Structure 1
Amino acid sequence: MFRGAIVFGFLISFAAAMFWTAQSGLKSTVDSAIAANAERKARNWADYLAHTMPDLDALLQTGVPDEAQNATIETAVQVGDVFRFKLFDANGRLVLISDERGTPLEPGAKADHNGHARSVLETGAAVIEVNDGTEKANRPDLYVEAYVPVPGADGKAVGVVEVYLDQSQVASLFRANFVQLAFVLGGVLLLMFGVPFVAYIVKMRQQVRTGEKVRMLSLVDQITGLNNRNSFFQQAEERRRNGKLDLARTAVIFIDIDKFKAINDTFGHKTGDEFLRHVGNAISSHLGPSDLAARIGGDEFVLLAVDRTDEELYDLIEGVRTTVSEPVRLDGIAITGHLSVGVYLEQGGGLGLEDRMHKADIALYQAKLLGRNTCVVFTPDLEDTIARRRLVEEAVICGLSADRFELYFQPLIDPVGSRVVGFEALLRLQDGQGTFIPPSEFIPIAEETGDIIPIGTWVLEQAIRTAVDWPEHMFVSVNLSTRQFEDGRLTEHVSQFLSDYGFAARRLELEVTESLLIEQSHNASQQLKDLRDLGVTIAMDDFGTGYSSLGYLWQFNFNKLKIDRSFVQSIGQGDGKSREILDTIIMLGHKLDMKVTAEGIETKEQAAVLETLACDHFQGFYYGEPMPLSEMAPYLMEHSVLPLVREDKDAGRDREKAAG
């Protein structure tokens, strides 16, 4: 008897569980019925609004109703079960809230891009949300927010309306009719299917929700609400096939956020995502009805602007850039960002979309090279320029690992006895075909990318290792980049190489330009002092071309001046003032206990003038071109015995400039 009671109790409990499971399933069924009923009502109401609203197009553009439109709105919110609505234009931007007319929208609300509205515009499918309003002020106990399209005269959507429907009575009716069915169905489920049926229902509901979520994820970028890359290409192709997109009348615009990585690194990825959303909203707020935009990855966006005049296109781009550049407050921090923009316009040839995007990307790349925060329109010559730039970048990036870098050495001469006293190490780089790339081309790129730091360390080590085998009186001179001072380890590297190769510090000369002292003054001062304390010679290169060279001479206590080649090459030209300038520079250097080197000497006349001025060291094609290591031994054997005599090399000037 006791066992029977247990079984009976178990059956009662199981039946009750099945009843509540059935009731839960019926609740879902009721909600679905309410949603279907609300969608039908909302679509009918949207048709009613479209046919009764005077000048609907103007209202969608301005969001400010006139007297007649206000009267229509007052009537509309009393039709059926509607108690409120929001109106969105053809771009998914909020333009009007029925019960907040006359009150300005909150800051940024008009530019906000509503994901549900945009989804309705793109798919035509309504978005329905059933809400419990029992704990909300001014809301029915149960209401529905239904996003449905607003049809135009031709039946196509001209906007979206979010209709608020009071479904309390409908819900009560459905529940009253279904309550008895819930009891019966609970027993039926218990007898016929039991737990497996409930599990099947739960699983099916999960699959439906998962499938819908996957579908949405496949179409929309979840951060910005714009199209993702796949849906962008799908929609563009669909519009092209339907005759709604003529690429010949479409501008392809590539947009990139300047220094977005710094925002992520400084403020975190959450803030970075919020800033991406800010940019997405800015783009959405300026889209026209026929335009198409997407976030295609990272901080890159693409926009197809259809049928725009040059002036309208300019207004679109500048409007987006201006909106983005306005400070946005994220987590209590005001962040300002800027955009680089590349544009491709039809230039003939019938190119496909991907080719046009490639050319817009080239224009964007050029905008970044010009300093960012600007817009560049593609021109045919850009293609060759950027292709060359990328070739050089590739050579720089893989230069060390592929052994494409090489040191050349140019002699420095003591005019007393024409004796070789040292060599300047000059960096050379070959591309993949073995052709040399001018230093004036690859050095700035290496500095910009930061590759100059490991490259500069390699140059230092190679120069010291090479000079170890030279006669003891010879030094090696190495140029330093401003970037090499950034991490504060330059002195450490120099000291380590001097120790590793047993190289005397007095035989190492390091050349810096005035740009270092301007850009890295806080980093450079102590490091230059530490290098001097090691016994290394510090030289100011290209002296005479800067703005504050005289002030830096005493402030940083240089050991040597290198006179810029432009002064040397002016000898014998004009009224002879160049000789006076050279005389002044050399005297100044000597007064400050510095040696002076003149570079760029190409003629016998230039050498003679500098010798009369007591310049300490000479350098230039007149005495020797930069040479690879393989030519060093023959050169040293020849010029360590015989006096150095050279023919004039007037034609060598251009070559020396190219040689760096």
Structure 2
Amino acid sequence: MFSVVNCITTQHNIWLVLVAALVCVSGSWAVLRLFSRGRSVNGAEAVGWQFLAATAAGASIWSTHFIAIIAYHAGTPVTFDPVLTIISLLIAMAGSFCGLTVAGMIRTSWSPAVGGALVGLSIAIMHYTGMLAYVAQGTVDWDMRFLIASIFLAVTITSAAIQVASRDYSAASKIISVGLLTLAIVSLHFTGMTAFKLTPIFMDDSYSNPAALQAMALAIALLSVIIVGAVAASYLIDNQNRVRSVSELEHMALNDALTGLANRACFNDRLAAQIELGNNGGPKFALAAIDLDRFKEINDIKGHSAGDEALKILAQRMRDSNDGTMFIARTGGDEFSIIAPVASRGELREALLRLRAEIIRPFMLDGFHASVGASFGACIFPDDAQERETLINNTDLALYRAKSEIGEKICFFDKKMDDTVRNKRQLAIDLRHALENNQLEVYYQVQTLVSDSSVIGYEALLRWQHPQRGFIPPVEFIPLAEENGLILQLGEWVLRTACSQCSSLGLNIRVAVNLSPVQFLHPNLPGLVAGVLTDTGLRPENLELELTESAIIQDKERTLLQLQQIRKLGVTIALDDFGTGYSSLDTLRAFPFDKIKLDRSFMGEIESSKSARAIIRAVLALGRSLEIPVLAEGIETCDQLAILHAEGCESAQGYLFGRPAPFADILSGHKGDPRAQALRSVPREMSGNKERAMTAAAPPVHCLA
């Protein structure tokens, strides 16, 4: 050890030794960074990185060796064999490439150590090939102890350096691996130079120029720094690109591509963190949900590209109006969520009002003025909810109330008010379950001629017996089906069931089925009706579809076109609930209905109110003039029936003739069941008072309108 130290301090130019050390350290750093980068990838890319690492290794190791050789005080003129000098450089690069490839691309526990040993061996071969290129005027002897020791040190220490670099790449590992590789190169050179013994035999100052050799050493160092720097620069550029790519991927993963706001995933992470902070004594915060009103109109009228542009404008307004305290995310198509600190409900309301004012402010879109509305629902943690799902659900309930109210567009969660909404949502879920599990049933109410009470048809009415809640009136669940998009499936089920059951009777009796206004949004309602008739075998003239005038008002042109196509099938069309709502004569003029159904609300007053009787007389006269038969609903007494008969009404329907009943009862009635027959016949001798008493004793029945 003392001999090696003595060799460094007394036989070398210490300044050139320091230059060699600097080259060695910087080269080792670059080599191990490139090697680690190569281990993180596969295939051709891995080969490319290991080639760069080998280039850096060869240049730095070779430069370190030759700068240190030039720093050696030979005491005699020296020169270098150019062929062997170049061969030593190639050995360093090729050997390093082989060793680093084994260490980096063969994924076993032993490959880094073996690959490192190959690199160390190539360093030793390069060193002693370089020493053969060292031509001096004197005799050379070798101390084999130091020579073998130098090779052993190079192989083992380099093997350890590569093993450490491949295991993990923490800060400590980086320092250790760079230090080991530097130590391997330095120990090889100076232990090998200790083994080198030169005895001068001729002194000729003209043979070598020490100043020129020193200049060459500096040139080699500069060239090495350039090579290593270029290789390191490629690593750094790639590393920056990777960091930038990861940053962009993180931004894409956490931000909405269209608006640039945080997306749902980022919102979920932020909300979870905020709740955890709140549970650990952090401040209150509010979760607010925003739903844009009338946004669908922009998509429908101007197209989705215009809708996207509108969302960009509105998102930018939200960013501009945010004072930095709100976290705003786009969580759906036209839905946004906010997490905001809460000092008081009043301050939060003011902040939301300012934000809403910016959202609803008109803007230019493709050359025209556009505007949207905005409904806000808010819930405060921990006052209104402590769990994530409850917090989100309560916020949605408040938003639902804000959307349904006309005046108040910013609603805070209120347990009493929002329990009703929660019950409606649960009922909607139960309705879907009932449809999927055959818990619904079609009842039928008889329709008769006024003149002799003979049966002319039935109206199909939907009934739902809830397993826990009991009978649910249609007036409760039909609007829910319309709101939740279930009405199309529900309406088709009723139509198919009624047609199938009535077809099985084998009688020439008409069945009337109600259509919801929402069903006219079906992309091919006439085709659906035709398909049901074909599948069930019901003759088209035995099907009557009933609709209210509200179904026509929503989209008059489209609805009338569909009605015309349905009527061409042979199906009759009835206008239901006439006398209430719009009751526009223009509707009767625009479409020749096959029947007008007079609303039941007039029947309760027909015996006592002259105005009610006058309206009925007018409707009947209108029907006769337009040649449209009129059916009166809600007949409960013989006196009512007598008045309708006197006024010339053709057909009627009501409790007087029969209550809505399951298909089994209708089927048994047509097979001669006296009880069911009694439902369809009216005993003329009964007084009006007695009849009223009987019907009043029965519970009310709600029908699908």
Same fold, TM-score > 0.5, yes or no: yes
Secondary structure at the aligned position of 1:510 is classed as strand
Q: Which residue of 2 aligns with 1:386?
A: 421
Counterpart of 1:627 in structure 2 is 661
Residue-by-residue CA offset, 1:212-242 (whole Å, 9 max, x unaligned)? 5566667766643458314523663576478
Which of 426, 429, 453 is matched with 2:461 structurally? 426
Equivalent position amino acid for 2:700 in 1:
R
- State whether structure 2 residue 502 is matched by structure 1 residue 464: no
Counterparts of 1:210 and 1:369 in 2: how far apart (Å)?
Answer: 45
Instruction: Confirm or deny that 1:583 pairs with 2:620.
Output: no
Q: Which residue of 2 aligns with 1:161?
A: none
Residue type of the alignment partner of 2:398: A
CA contact (8 A) 2:443 2:461 kept: yes
1:224 partner letter: G
Does 1:187 find its partner at 2:224? yes
What are the Cα deviations for residues 447-503 of structure 1, in whole angstroms up to 9, with x where unaligned?
334432333233222222211233634211111222333356333333344344443
Contact 1:339 1:373 in 2 (8 A): no
1:655 aligned counterpart, secondary structure = coil
| d(CA) in 1 for partners of 2:222, 2:332 | 51
Identify which of 540, 558, 570 aligns with 1:505. Answer: 540
The one-letter code matched in structure 2 to 1:633 is L
After superposition, the C-alpha distances for 1:422-460 in whole angstroms (9 at most, x for unaligned) are 110112345565844321122223333443233323322
State how far apart, in whole Å, the 2-side matches of 1:576 and 1:359 are: 52
CA distance in 1, matches of 2:220, 2:275: 53
CA distance in 2 between partners of 1:215 and 1:446 (Å)? 41
Q: What is the one-letter code of the residue matched to 1:655?
A: P
**1:340–1:372 contact (8 Å) kept in structure 2:** no
Q: Counterpart amino acid of 1:365?
A: Y
Please give the alpha-carbon distance, in whole angstroms, between the structure 1 residues aligned to 2:534 and 2:446. 25
Structure 2 match to 1:529: 564
Give the C-alpha shift of residue 540 in structure 1. 1.0
Per the alignment, residue 402 of structure 2 pairs with 367
Work out whether residues 568 and 600 of structure 1, in 8 Å CA contact, stay in contact via their aligned partners in 2. Answer: yes
2:607 is the alignment partner of 1:572: yes
Aligned twin of 1:606: 640
Q: Which residue of the other structure, out of 437, 444, 463, is the alignment partner of 2:472?
A: 437
Tell me how far apart the structure 2 counterparts of residues 386 and 399 of structure 1 sit (CA, whole Å). 20
Q: Which amino acid aligns with 1:529?
A: Q
Q: Does 1:656 align with 2:701?
A: yes
The 2-side partners of 1:428 and 1:220 are apart by 48
* 8 Å contact kept, 2:289–2:399: yes
CA contact (8 A) 2:377 2:413 kept: yes
Give, in whole Å, the separation in 2 of the partners of 1:266 and 1:185: 69
Which residue type is aligned with residue 506 of structure 1? E
Match of 1:518 among 548, 553, 571: 553
Unaligned runs of 5+ in 2: 1-81, 94-216
How far, CA to CA, are the matches of 1:482 and 1:659 in structure 2? 13
- Pairing partner for 1:557 from 573, 592, 610: 592
Other structure's SS at 1:427 match: strand
1:454 maps to which residue? Answer: 489
Mark the CA change 1:202 to 1:577 in structure 2 (over 3 Å): closer, same or farther. closer
- Output aligned runs, 1:35-50, within 5 Å: none
Query: Cα RMSD between the aligned structures?
Result: 4.4
Tell me if 1:546 matches 2:581: yes
Alignment of 1:96-495 (within 5 A): 184=221, 186-188=223-225, 190=227, 201=236, 204-210=239-245, 212-213=247-248, 223-226=259-262, 228-233=266-271, 236-237=274-275, 240=278, 245=283, 247=284, 250-258=285-293, 274-288=309-323, 290-296=325-331, 298-307=333-342, 311-329=346-364, 335-344=370-379, 351=386, 355-370=390-405, 374-431=409-466, 433=468, 435-470=470-505, 472-487=507-522, 489-495=524-530
Q: Deviations over 1:557-601 (max 9, x none)?
A: 12211110100122334x433223222222322232222211112
1:411 Cα deviation after fit: 0.8
User: Residues 207 and 440 from structure 1, CA distance in 2 versus in 1: closer, same or farther, beyond 3 angstroms?
Assistant: same
Distance 2:364 2:290 in 1: 22
Query: Residues 315 and 588 (structure 1 numbering): CA distance in 2 closer, same or farther, change over 3 Å?
Result: same
CA separation in 2, counterparts of 1:301 and 1:510? 42
What CA distance in whole angstroms lies between the structure 2 residues aligned with 1:285 and 1:441? 44
The CA distance in 2 between the partners of 1:181 and 1:448, in whole Å, is 84
The normalised TM-score by structure 1 is 0.63
Q: Bigger radius of gyration, 1 or 2? A: 2
Is the Cα contact below 8 Å between 1:602 and 1:652 reproduced in 2? no
Amino acid at match of 1:425: A
Partner deviation per Cα, 1:27-63 (whole Å, 9 max, x = no partner): xxxxxxxxxxxxxxxxxxxxxxxxxxxxxxxxxxxxx
Equivalence map 1:11-90=2 (5 Å): none
Q: Is the 8 A contact 1:255 1:302 kept in 2?
A: yes
* Letter matched to residue 656 of structure 1: V
**CA deviations over 1:296-352 (Å, ceiling 9, x no partner):** 455433334445555543432222122112344567676533322112358957745
Read off the aligned partner of 1:611 and give its amino acid letter.
Answer: H
SS of alignment partner, residue 408 of structure 1: strand
CA distance in 2, matches of 1:212, 1:473: 74
Cα distance in 2 for partners of 1:505, 1:213 equals 62
Taking the aligned partners of 1:489 and 1:298, their CA distance within structure 2 comes to 27
Cα offset for 1:417? 2.9
The structure-2 alpha-carbon separation of the partners of 1:537 and 1:291, relative to structure 1 and needing over 3 Å to count, comes to closer
Q: CA deviation at 1:606?
A: 2.4
CA distance in 1, matches of 2:408, 2:309: 20
Q: Distance in 2 between matches of 1:462 and 1:550?
A: 34
The answer on whether the counterparts of 1:456 and 1:480 sit within 8 Å (CA) in structure 2 is yes
Q: Letter of the 2:572 partner, please give it.
A: T
SS in 2 for 1:323: helix
What is the TM-score of this pair, normalised by structure 2?
0.59
* Deviation for aligned residue 1:522: 0.2
Q: Distance in 2 between matches of 1:329 and 1:182?
A: 67
Q: CA deviation at 1:603?
A: 2.9
Aligned residues: 489
1:482–1:520 contact (8 Å) kept in structure 2: no
Deviations 1:139-162 (A, max 9, x none): xxxxxxxxxxxxxxxxxxxxxxxx
Paired AA for residue 476 in structure 1: V
Matched residues, percent identical? 34
Give the counterpart letter for 1:609 in structure 2. I
Between stretches 507-516 and 454-463, larger displacement belongs to 454-463
Alpha-carbon distance in 2 for matches of 1:328, 1:269? 17
Please tell me whether residue 593 in structure 1 is matched to residue 627 in structure 2: yes
Amino acid at match of 1:558: F
SS for the counterpart of 2:559 is helix
Whole-Å separation in 1 of the counterparts to 2:663 and 2:220: 97
Does the aligned pair in 1 maintain the 2:461–2:703 contact within 8 Å?
A: no
